[in-house]
Every structure is written in C-alpha cells, then in structure tokens.
Structure 1
C-alpha cells in the first residue's frame, strides 16, 4: 500500500476535501504513523475559519492516536507497532531561550500539527518523535484521542489556575469534561458554566460530579478561587473576573478568542490576574498521562468516519456534541478514487 487518504483544507472557509496522496517517508527524527483515531478540536474550526493562520493546503487534526509504521533516521525509544499519540505542538527548534529553559511551548520557531505540519485527518501522518507520547493501556484509541489536546491543554490550564478549592469552568465541552474529572478527584468543587440553553451540557456536567451547572449569564453560586475559560468568548473574561475572589485567577485556555470588552479596573483590582495558556510542553504530556490514569479519567466521544469530517466540524460549531468528536480513518483500501 503506497497511497493514503486525507481530508484536506485547501482554502479558508472550507469545506475539507477527501484526497489521495502518496504515503510520506519519515525524515530524520520522525515517525510514520498509521492513524487509528483523531480527535476533532475547536482549534480545527479556527483554522478552517482563518482565525488561526495555517499553511494551506493542510490536513487538519492534532489529537492523533496511531501505530508506528516506520521510523526515521536517528529515532530512539520507539519501535514499529508502538501505539503513540501526537499533540498540537509538533516541533520546536530546541535552540531558543524558551526551548533551553523547558518552555518549548513558547518556541520562536514552532511547528503545529494540523496547522503548519499535516495532521491526523488522514489514514497516515508523519510526526516529530520528540513530540510523540505513549498512550496508557487504560484507554482505547477512541477514548485516548481527546486527551492529546483537550486533555493536555486543560491540564496546563488547571495547573496555571492554582490550587484553589472552588473552580469555575466556562464552556463545558471536550476539555472541560476531562479536567473536571481531575479537579474533582483532587478534592475541588467544580462549577460548570454553559450557554443558557445547553441543558444537556449542564446535565452532563452534573453527571460527572460538578457541584453546580448553569448558564454563564447567571452569577456563580459561590465565590470562585479561579476560573478557566474554554469557550473562545472574550466577553466572558470580565464575567469570570467578577466571579473570582481577591487574588483569584482567570485562565484563558484557547488559542483564539474574540475581543475582550472594556471593563472597570475595579473588577481586576485586588490582585486578580488574567493569564493565557499557550500550547504545551513535553512535561505537560508526561505529567498529564500519569494523573489521568490515577484519576481514572474517562472520555465521552462521538465517532465519525474520516469522510464525514465536515459533519463533525459543523456539529462542533453548533454545540451539538456532548464530550468530544473523534474521526476513525479505517483502512486506506476502504476508499475509492472519485472520477
């Protein structure tokens, strides 16, 4: 088999097209991966919509779970047949001040899976071995896919939020449903904020053990120690600021967010802070998978065929998913060329 299939974004606005390509050879330091599952992330929507600039044409997808099919020169630590995961941060230079200080998430010359490097909406993908993680046996391929971004970025956001007991999560989708489980396992109280009409999402949050779930239009029922914004809505920043106590933190977890409106300085005063989370580090991956296993985190997913990637993206855009969407590419031989 020398041919792979992929859903390719050729122009901003989409839609993605099913295309055939030659299976690439892994270069030095790279792995060729047969993709078994790939999560569908809101960042993929930002790329389709042009809110995050990608190198087009591009194969989206950065929550990849697959099997190592071939190994490039100089790779150590992986063998053909190993199961691996590939996250959003797909490469760093290794030379800048950020990389040398363990902050490769801020690298001056990064590569991003499914954005500047072809991703996992495909039957095969090539990845930098330094940014591949082993997947715990606890998780099936489908369950593991959302952990590669929703889980990892959520984990970095949770650590940035500090150790406060009362935590607010704004936007209860793929990332929040994972991180809520960890926070509750840590002994925290979690308060979930959704769109006003998202009763299903609120019920889902309560089913996972959240102390409260309601609309982001409602005031928090208690004073929060910290809040994490997974919804890419800038107007929620001042809302969250008003919900946290003095010294509290508002963490913006997304790679893209609509503009933050002006708000009174009084809402920030009292040593409240606003911070963003950018990408991930390899340490985030190592520590997250250890904690996820200890906490027995489970993911809730809806699966789609690779050719139905556009449907999955529109379901995500409409807020019509509980948990996370996952593409299952299947075997390359199952596809046919369109004349």
Structure 2
C-alpha cells in the first residue's frame, strides 16, 4: 500500500510503498476514505509530542472496514467508521477503571503509538472505532475526529447554562467549528478576531456578534465562556478581561507561551479549564451535528501524493480551515 512516512524527527515527509498490515486479535483493517492533516501532526514531526520514527502520522481517520481480526464482534466488514486520538489504555490503572483512558500513562494514540491514517489502509482497535452516521461524508467526518471533537468537548466541559454567552477566540481550523457548535447548541455566540476580512464569514457561520478584542467584549457585557481555539496563550491572557463573573475559559490549543493571570481571577471567581477529548458521548454528538447539517467543516482537499506540500501549508498557517486527504 501507499503511505506517507516521516523518516526521522523534523524531517520531510515521503510517500513510500509499504506492506498492507493485517489485523491482530480485536483489531480491524480500515480502507481510508479521508484523513485530516492537523497541526498536531506538525507538533509530532517537530518533537513536541514524542514518538518513534519512522512513522506514518494522521489521527483524523475515517473509512470502511475491510477486514476484522479474531474476537471482533461489534464491527463487521463494510462498516463506515472513524478512529479518535486515544484508542486504548492499559485497562488496569485508576483512570482506565474510571472510564477516563485519556489520562492513562500507557495510552495508545492514533499516529503516535500506532501507524496513523495518512495511508491507504490503517489498523485500529475495534472497540475504539466510532460508527459514522449514514448521512455524513468522509470529507466532512474526518476533521470531526480531532478538531470537531476537541471544540465540542471543550464547550460541553465548560457546562454553559441557558442564557449564557459563549465567545470564541480565534477563527481558524478549530474556531470556525466552535462558532457553529455553540450556535447549534442554542447559545448567544461571539467571535473574537482581529481579522476584519473574517467578519462576514463568522456571521454567516452563526456568530451573533464579532469583536476585535477583550475590551470590546467587556464593553458589551462580557462572556460566560471563552473557548480558546488557537495556540497563543498571550492572546488568551488578554482575553481573560472579557470574562464575566463566574466565567470559564477553556484552553484547547498547545502553546509554549506562559499564561498570565491577575488578581481579578479571584474576585471574579473565574476558572481556567484545560480540555481535550473528554468522552465518547461528545464525539457522538459532534458527529451528529455535522450529519444533520447544523455544522459544516470548511476544508481544502488533496491527494496523498501531495501530502508533503499540504504539510508545509498547514505548518505555515496557509490552509483555510482544515486540510483533508481524500484521494488515496
């Protein structure tokens, strides 16, 4: 089969012919229909997330099961599925026993501890796969398995109440989805962006208001929840001024910058929440919104043969808004 290979740390990606894998017990073989290329792939390539090379990356996979291993009963050949970031844990530690395998120190991550989805075929543990709604396309489904899942999990974890306001900081690959999820869930939604050329777009996506900064957000009464969808903690620190009392800021992007807070966080009883992908029910819900047409992924599609160029575009922030490999 054809696969994208990262030969070594911080090295250019290559297309190679490699053997098609065979499923072991409790695994399935998936013919990839679409694979999202996420900025996390850049982090992994550059060493911010440790793995062993050579490696095929890719953790936004969707496709059709073409073979099942011994012991698989819940999935069958022909099922349309996707695979999230965390496939499995040790099943013995406190976190696994509490149903929170995302905290397991021995977790198996797609494209990190396994070969990922930037290839014609990929193995996955059967019980980690999520069945896709019939009405969702592969192109729309793939980015949900990281980007959509991440922002919807963050919003749900913040637990906004009826009549509360939700603000989205950064309108990019995650942010354009966060605006739509917030509006689809019925919340008054405010986009925070300095880009004037994005104002019409974010209003079309469902934003009730668009502001340039925290000061403008504060003048209009502030937000109860701020979803930080970008990688700048400097911007997140500034946005704290826009939180109402008892407000929650949710961080879902990785940054090497320090997060600076003032004493206002005490007097306002504000909370800063770190969030990733917080449970299977949130993935189910995130897919359902897309399948029902309430959320639409804006993406650029490419061939696997072009993946080196696509990687450069993602790394340089040139993609609008998600990059998806659909031609394997």
Give TM-score scaled by structure 2 length: 0.92
The match for 2:187 is 188
Deviation for aligned residue 1:199: 4.0
1:120 equivalent in alignment to 2:128: no
CA distance in 1, matches of 2:200, 2:46: 30
The match for 1:257 is 255
User: Does the CA contact (< 8 Å) of 1:91 and 1:111 recur in 2?
Assistant: yes
CA distance in 1, matches of 2:279, 2:101: 6
The match for 1:277 is 275
Q: Which deviates further from its counterpart, 86-95 or 23-32?
A: 86-95
- SS class of match (2:276): coil
The match for 1:209 is 206
Given candidates 5, 12, 15, the residue that maps to 2:2 is 5
User: Does the CA contact (< 8 Å) of 2:59 and 2:111 recur in 1?
Assistant: yes
In the comparison of the two structures, how many residue pairs are matched? 324
Q: Which deviates further from its counterpart, 219-228 or 71-80?
A: 219-228
User: Does the CA contact (< 8 Å) of 1:181 and 1:295 recur in 2?
Assistant: no
**Aligned-CA RMSD value:** 2.0
Q: How does 1:79-90 map to 2 (within 5 A)?
A: 79-90=76-87
Q: How does 1:232-311 map to 2 (within 5 A)?
A: 232-254=231-253, 256-293=254-291, 296-311=294-309
Q: Deviations over 1:122-169 (max 9, x none)?
A: 111001111111111221111111111111111110111221421111
Deviation for aligned residue 1:240: 2.4
The match for 1:101 is 98
Q: Deviations over 1:152-202 (max 9, x none)?
A: 1111101112214211111222322223222112221222223x3x44444
Deviation for aligned residue 1:294: 5.0
- SS class of match (1:241): helix
User: Does the CA contact (< 8 Å) of 1:182 and 1:292 recur in 2?
Assistant: no
- SS class of match (1:287): helix
Deviation for aligned residue 1:238: 1.6
1:60 equivalent in alignment to 2:37: no
Residues 14 and 222 of structure 1, relative CA distance in 2, 3 Å threshold: farther
- SS class of match (2:312): helix
Segments of structure 1 that go 5 or more residues without pairing to the other structure are: 331-339
User: Does the CA contact (< 8 Å) of 2:215 and 2:241 recur in 1?
Assistant: no
Given candidates 131, 137, 142, the residue that maps to 2:139 is 142
Deviation for aligned residue 1:268: 4.7
User: Does the CA contact (< 8 Å) of 2:225 and 2:243 recur in 1?
Assistant: yes
User: Does the CA contact (< 8 Å) of 2:140 and 2:290 recur in 1?
Assistant: no
- SS class of match (2:236): helix
User: Does the CA contact (< 8 Å) of 2:229 and 2:252 recur in 1?
Assistant: yes
1:225 equivalent in alignment to 2:233: no
Give TM-score scaled by structure 1 length: 0.89
